[in-house]
Amino acid sequence: MSFGILVDMDTHDTYEEMVALLRQNNQLLGEAVQLLRRQERRERWGAAARTVGFLLFLILPIILYYYIFNNVLGAMSGLVPSSTGEGGAFDLEELQQLLEVYQGGLEGV
Distances (CA, A) of 106 to 9, 16, 28, 62, 98: 108, 105, 87, 44, 10
State residue 100's pLDDT score.
Answer: 82
Encoded amino acid at 101, one letter? V
Q: Rounded to an integer, what distance in angstroms lies between the CA atom of residue 53 and that of residue 31?
A: 33
Domain-wise residue ranges, the chain: 1-55, 81-109
pLDDT at residue 96, as a whole number: 80
Q: pLDDT tens-digit profile of 48-103?
A: 999 999 888 888 888 888 777 777 766 666 655 555 555 555 567 777 887 888 78
pLDDT for 6 equals 54
Which pLDDT score, from 0 to 100, does residue 45 have?
Answer: 96
